[in-house]
Chain A
Amino acid sequence: MISRRALLESSAALFATRLFGSSTDTPSKRPSPELQNLADVALHQAKKLGATYADIRINRYQDQRVGVRLSKDLTTGKDLESPFVNGETSFGFGVRVIADGSWGFAASPLVNREEIARIAGEAVTVARASAKLQNRPVELAPVPVYQDRWTSPFRRNPFDVPMAEKLELLRASVQEIKKDPRVFSGNGFLLFHSEDKFFASSEGSAIQQFIVQTVGDISAHAVDRKKGLSKSRNHRPPPLETGYEYVAAMNFGENAPRIREEVLEQLAAPPVQPGKKDLVLLPSHLCLTIHESLGHSTELDRALGYEANFAGTSFLTPDKMGKMRIGSELVTVYGDRTHPEGLSTVGYDDDGVKATRFTIVDKGIFAHFQTIRDQAHLIGEKESRGCCYADSWASIPFQRIPNVWLAPGPDSVTPEDLIASVEDGILIDGTGSWSIDQQRYNFQFGGDAFWEIKGGKKGGMLSRVAYQSRTPDFWQACDGIAGPAYWQQYGLFNDGKGQPEQINAMSHGSAPARFRQINVLLTD
């Protein structure tokens, strides 16, 4: 809680800027000595109090949200413009220790030596209390010692770009969307996120990282009050770990008129005839299906029961590694925190493990779980696969989904080829409704837009579509994936897991893919 002492602290924001430097500083390969000095307070205090391992993360997060909504006032017929600008920062530290064989964690927003020592002591107290009810002592997979600094590549820091430029872009986009009076409202937003992260451990690592992410979206909404219908259509470019230079490539200018037309087509689109159909899923849609069915089911903490009380367990268990077929021969999937512009791409994870790429599904066979340092030994592995992440300085690092991507098909296969051999099917773009059971078997997905495929040709739009399947059945029904030229990296910004719940962002790339005879439902 905020205390009187806190009120006396001076210039914390400036202090943070001095600690982390600015993005225009000459890049160094060494972490800031001042951060290391602060970290040493926690590491020494934890050791003094008997901890056998300690780490500290001193982090600063910055978010900027800019939005414009233009919506019709039904009374006056006039359009109401409602802009939104928000800047958010959060700075603090968390100390994690192992004492008496148990984890302990404590965190505070007051970044000074006295508070760091106090919080390190709190973490040891928590660990010792927990040790009385532990199952087995925590065991960490070995990791090399790193002293390094890593920055995600970007050309233009979005926080240095004038707000007016962002607002003007969004305003022009929503005005374009609203040019047809039958469109009820247009929305646009941009989100920029950065993380200054410093990690130091009692094993000698000190790692400073700076990450920048850029997200944007425009949407159109239409209402048919006579028929009681309400529909929306988005243009949602992939969120990427990159800078403001990406905003131009989002191409709101060309896409605003497209979604304006498509939302009206969608409002008049006939309902789907339910039944078994072939699906051709675009990367903008498949990202969420990959995430829910293959991303979550291959988390080792779930498989071992550590998430049983909330996020659930998994149909995949360690005895199925290297044996169980969960996809067709075409399906090869990687966990990858090194992939350029992936939302989960880092130099090092929050255990201080260097980012890596590993196979999750190899030609349809389940190959490997996602792991972190305190899990590897539980399945007889010697090292972590680098999937540790905490969403805040105030959160406990734990195993989270990395970038998980589906390998493309042969060079020669095009999306048109996938469609050409479908007699009765649906082409799906974007994400809509989604839900999957707690062991990642049964799922249901909607989408943002649906087109009928008849006799190998894409037809008009359909409405009220959802499909259901079972993870291994669905991926074994995959009989076509387009080539590398069509591979796109989409991503998600709001994956929840853990207690207290934490949010994670990661990318899921794929090329368009075809799935045979999937159960399609007619929704409301």
Chain B
Amino acid sequence: MLTKDEAQKLAEKILSYSKFPECEISIDGNEDAFVRFANNGLTTSGLVRQQQISISSTKDRKTGNTSFNQIDDKSLRDAVARSEEMAEIALPNEEHVPSLPPQHYPEIDRLDPATASARSPELIVHARNVIDAARSKSLVAAGFVQRSARASAIASKTGLFGYSASADSSLTATVRTAAGDGSGWASQPAIRFAEMDSSGVARRAVEKCLASRGAKRIEPGKYTVVMEPAAVAALVGYFGFALNARAAEEGRSFLSKDGGGTRVGEKMFPDIINLRSDPTITSIPARPWGFDRLPVQAVTWIDAGVVTSLRYDRFWAMQKGRQPSPPDANMILDGQPNAIDDLIAATDRGLLITHFWYIRFVNPKTMQLTGLTRDGLLLIENGKITGPVMNLRFNESPVRLLQNAKMLGRPERVQEDEVSDDLLVPPLQATEFTFSSVSDAV
């Protein structure tokens, strides 16, 4: 693990080779251990170390960028020279902002040494738990257990320096019937690997698999839905793209007002919707700095249904004569003190969604997305789950989802592929969620 002291010395060495007025660097290193399993046996496992250094050199608003992974003296010197050569022939960037002076970054402790050093034997224990649980019911398990240790540093010629080290781990598990007529999924992220509850993950995946067998076809259309947190995260995560002030002011976002201006200050959502970022929440990963190197801070984006903030990067803030927004460390949708069973009990007729698959934009302006349910779609009638139904494709916007939200549960961090790992979201009940077709996929 690259220590703070080592990172600082490496950064100083790189900056000492710089001849340009501005030089910004970032250093990233990681070591990942992982175990993959399928068909009730291990398939591929590995231990991988990687490192990357990125350098941006700027003179007269002309910037050259280079990234590389070799850190001997000659490679470092050559890389700085290469970035400067590129800058010499680059065009002036009218959106360039000068390097920041030194910043005070918050201390964010997400480095559990045992998680950072776990290896195959410790990971395999959890694969075995899932496989054993599946086998005991004559089912078939596939999954992935991983841990990652990361160190990141940023520095610039102005004296700015930041360092962050973290570790994280996760388990995802899919359990299917041998005949392929049922599939269940469950997952767990764990900042501390010792807290990995693979037996619990296995139990949920097995239960969902058994409950999903013999799915009946229902007609697509608008349904009340109860979404488990993984499903909510997959949709709410898109707000990360959408809160951009520039896109809103330029008419390219759902937050653009027709005819000009933005919808900041409008009550677009129900009272129960509060969307915010907070680096002090220790149960989710956070980095001390954001995209443009400003320190992260707590930000409220939607307060009791009212849009309160948009993200102003340093360039756009300068254009608008205002302070840039502090970058967001994570994304939190606040909840209510309900269990998911309370949400189900409060549903006359609806669908319980385990998670989604292959979500893509249909219209970025309205945030309309398409994707499919997967690994357990269950019909709710009169407050009770009455049986499985075939998977459905949706065409819907997370904006409309939150506008139609009626009830929330307790927020939790989720582990889901293609979803950012820094979301904290509750289960959610919403009306009028639009499904457009039936899928034969199990």
Whether chain B is bound by chain A comes out as: yes
Which chain A residues have a beta carbon within 8 Å of chain B's beta carbons? 1-4, 6-14, 16, 68, 71, 73-75, 80-92, 94, 102-109, 122-123, 125-127, 129-130, 132-136, 162-164, 167, 171, 184, 221, 223-230, 304-310, 312-313, 315, 394-396, 398, 433-442, 444, 446, 464, 466, 468, 470, 499-501, 519, 521, 523-524
Query: Chain A residue with minimal CB distance to B391?
Result: A437
Query: Chain A residue with minimal CB distance to B75?
Result: A13
CA–CA, A134 and B131, complex, Å: 11
Query: Chain B residue with minimal CB distance to A226?
Result: B259
Q: Per-position contact with A for B360-375: 1 when CB-CB < 8 Å, else 0?
A: 1111111010111010
Query: Chain A residue with minimal CB distance to B33?
Result: A126
Query: Chain B residue with minimal CB distance to A9?
Result: B72
Residues of A within 8 A of B361 (CB): 433
Please name 16 further chain A to chain B contacts, defined as beta carbons within 8 Å, in addition to the given A133-B124, A435-B371, A468-B437, sorted by A numbering. Answer: A2-B51, A6-B72, A85-B87, A86-B67, A87-B83, A88-B68, A105-B47, A107-B46, A135-B39, A167-B91, A228-B258, A228-B365, A394-B49, A437-B357, A442-B438, A501-B417
The 9 closest A-B CB pairs, nearest first, are A135-B41, A12-B70, A439-B441, A442-B439, A437-B441, A105-B46, A129-B120, A524-B368, A308-B142
**B319 within 8 Å of A by Cβ?**
yes
Contact (Cβ within 8 A) A74 B436: no
CA–CA, A9 and B320, complex, Å: 48
- Checking B32, B40, B371 against A500 with a beta-carbon cut-off of 8 angstroms, the contacting residue is B32
Contact (Cβ within 8 A) B38 A305: yes
Q: A1-B31, A103-B44, A104-B45 are in contact. Are A7 and B417 (CB under 8 A)?
A: no
CA–CA, A11 and B34, complex, Å: 31
Q: Shortest CB–CB separation between residue A279 and chain B, in angstroms?
A: 16
Contact (Cβ within 8 A) A7 B67: no
Determine the main DSSP class of A at the interface with B: mixed
Q: Shortest CB–CB separation between residue B346 and chain A, in angstroms?
A: 29
Residues of A within 8 A of B438 (CB): 442
Q: A164-B89, A441-B441 are in contact. Are A91 and B69 (CB under 8 A)?
A: yes
Contact (Cβ within 8 A) A500 B250: no
**B136 within 8 Å of A by Cβ?**
no
Q: Per-position contact with A for B252-264: 1 when CB-CB < 8 Å, else 0?
A: 1000101110000
Contact (Cβ within 8 A) A230 B2: no
Residues of A within 8 A of B82 (CB): 87
Interface size class of B (residues with CB under 8 A): 35 or more
27 contacts across the A-B interface (CB closer than 8 A): A1-B1, A6-B51, A7-B10, A10-B74, A82-B94, A85-B63, A88-B66, A105-B46, A130-B35, A136-B41, A167-B89, A223-B250, A225-B260, A305-B39, A305-B142, A309-B142, A394-B48, A394-B50, A395-B48, A396-B44, A435-B370, A437-B391, A442-B372, A442-B437, A466-B370, A466-B395, A499-B146
List the one stretch of B168-176, B192-200, B287-295 in contact with chain A.
Answer: B168-176
**B127 within 8 Å of A by Cβ?**
yes
Contact (Cβ within 8 A) A82 B95: yes
Q: Shortest CB–CB separation between residue B58 and chain A, in angstroms?
A: 11
Residues of B within 8 A of A229 (CB): 365
Q: Shortest CB–CB separation between residue A312 and chain B, in angstroms?
A: 7
Query: Chain B residue with minimal CB distance to A68?
Result: B91
**B149 within 8 Å of A by Cβ?**
yes
Residues of A within 8 A of B174 (CB): 308-309
Contact (Cβ within 8 A) A306 B38: yes
Which residues of B (58-115) have their CB < 8 Å from a CB of A? 63-75, 78-79, 82-83, 86-87, 89-95
Residues of B within 8 A of A435 (CB): 358-360, 370-372, 393
Which residues of B (171-228) have their CB < 8 Å from a CB of A? 172-174, 176, 180, 183, 185
- Checking A167, A446, A470 against B90 with a beta-carbon cut-off of 8 angstroms, the contacting residue is A167
CA–CA, A498 and B395, complex, Å: 26
Contact (Cβ within 8 A) A305 B176: yes
**B42 within 8 Å of A by Cβ?**
yes
Contact (Cβ within 8 A) B259 A225: yes
Contact (Cβ within 8 A) B41 A89: no
